């Protein structure tokens, strides 16, 4: 083989190699980010009608420098501001005894559709505030300005996550192009917050409400499986890693976005990037401090994944508390 191999940035080489030279190539690139594809071939010469001799054996190699390719990305985003944490007594303020909704603050939704489970379902499956919608819109704008891209979007079934996802996609301009895959496996560690799962809206309900959800999507983890038992912290991390790996595997080299909860930025990336899971106290103290619409990029380099921080500016603002204007009288 009259071909000199160097560790350069050329992305593709086509070469002929003898059997002995294959071992040399393996040593040369075993620590590099190269993908080597090999086609074995041989030629023959017939000496007589009953004898066949192999006269040459070799291989056609394709050597591709993987560092020349754009890294694959997994983006993870927390939902926007939720009504129940902005207004602790919002249910009593906003619903009458018959379950009719009435806006009681400019930051609350203008209206809320009635749910088949009854209005009490909003207590555990809270919507976004108007500020929460705006936060998601700003994040979508930033994603567009940064010229980032995804082909597939997954959301926790929580209404606040669906709404965040919808507002993000509309602001990015892709809400009609990309359908939301509702994935129960992206829900938070529910054992911390109650004895059972919330009564979520079904994908069919969400579609009726106008959200562009993928009605043909089969979840990685069903609602029934998720609610079958209260998880330990270790099981929560394992469940989240399963969702990450299976979602990424399903889409080849496409970029993927998860829209879910604060801890999702941690639990869906820890094992993917080779880190150890946090103990519950650390998760509560550090991870749950992630702000509304917190956003992280994880990228694939060769066979490894690494966290790449936030790919655009942070979103920060101050609180605007309720005020008793009778104090001015």
Q: Which residues are catalytic?
A: 78-79, 261
- Quote the CA–CA distance of 245 and 59 in Å, as a whole number: 34
Q: Burial code of 47-60, b = ≥16 C-beta within 10 A, e = fewer?
A: eeeeeeeeeeebbe
Give me the torsion for CA of 170, 171, 172, 176, rounded to 10°.
Answer: 10
- Quote the CA–CA distance of 42 and 235 in Å, as a whole number: 52
Whether the Cβ atoms of residue 25 and residue 17 lie closer than 8 Å to each other: yes
Tokens describing residue 174 = 């892709």
Tally Cβ neighbours within 10 Å of residue 194.
10
Bridge-based pairing state of the strands 12-18 and 72-78? unpaired
Give me the torsion for CA of 182, 184, 185, 189, rounded to 10°.
Answer: 130
- Quote the CA–CA distance of 137 and 171 in Å, as a whole number: 5
**322 CB-side CA count, 13 A:** 11
**299 Cβ partners below 8 Å, 6+ apart?**
71, 72, 73, 74, 305, 306, 308
Tally Cβ neighbours within 10 Å of residue 295.
23
Bridge-based pairing state of the strands 256-260 and 152-155? parallel
Residue carrying the six token digits 């996550």: 161
What are the residues facing 307 on neighbouring strands? 298
Tokens describing residue 152 = 């597939």
What are the residues facing 295 on neighbouring strands? 77
Largest CA distance in the chain: 115
Give me the torsion for CA of 54, 55, 57, 58, rounded to 10°.
Answer: -160
């Amino acid at each position: 083989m009259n071909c000199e191999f160097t560790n350069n940035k050329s992305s593709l080489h086509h070469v002929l190699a003898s059997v002995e030279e294959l071992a040399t190539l393996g040593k040369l690139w075993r620590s590099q980010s190269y993908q080597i594809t090999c086609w074995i071939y041989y030629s023959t010469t017939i000496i007589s009608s009953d004898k066949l001799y192999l006269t040459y054996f070799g291989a056609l190699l394709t050597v591709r420098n993987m560092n020349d390719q754009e890294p694959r990305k997994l983006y993870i985003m927390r939902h926007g501001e939720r009504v129940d944490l902005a207004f602790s007594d919002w249910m009593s303020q906003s619903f009458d005894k018959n379950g009719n909704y009435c806006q009681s603050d400019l930051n609350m939704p203008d209206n809320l559709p009635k749910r088949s489970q009854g209005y009490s379902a909003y207590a555990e499956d809270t919507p976004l505030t108007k500020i929460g919608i705006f936060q998601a819109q700003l994040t979508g704008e930033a994603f567009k300005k940064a010229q980032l891209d995804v082909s597939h979007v997954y959301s926790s079934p929580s209404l606040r996550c669906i709404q965040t996802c919808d507002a993000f996609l509309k602001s990015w301009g892709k809400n009609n192009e990309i359908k939301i895959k509702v994935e129960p496996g992206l829900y938070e560690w529910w054992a911390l917050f109650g004895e059972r799962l919330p009564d979520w809206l079904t994908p069919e309900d969400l579609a009726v409400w106008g959200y562009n959800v993928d009605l043909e999507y089969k979840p990685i983890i069903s609602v029934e499986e998720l609610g079958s038992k209260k998880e330990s912290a270790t099981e929560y991390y394992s469940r989240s890693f399963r969702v990450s790996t299976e979602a990424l595997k399903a889409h080849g080299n496409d970029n993927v976005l998860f829209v879910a909860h604060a801890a999702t930025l941690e639990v869906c990336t820890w094992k993917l990037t080779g880190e150890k899971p946090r103990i519950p106290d650390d998760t509560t103290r550090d991870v749950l401090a992630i702000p509304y619409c917190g956003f992280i990029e994880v990228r694939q380099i060769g066979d490894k994944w690494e966290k790449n921080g936030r790919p655009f500016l942070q979103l920060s603002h101050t609180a605007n508390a309720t005020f008793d204007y009778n104090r001015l009288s």
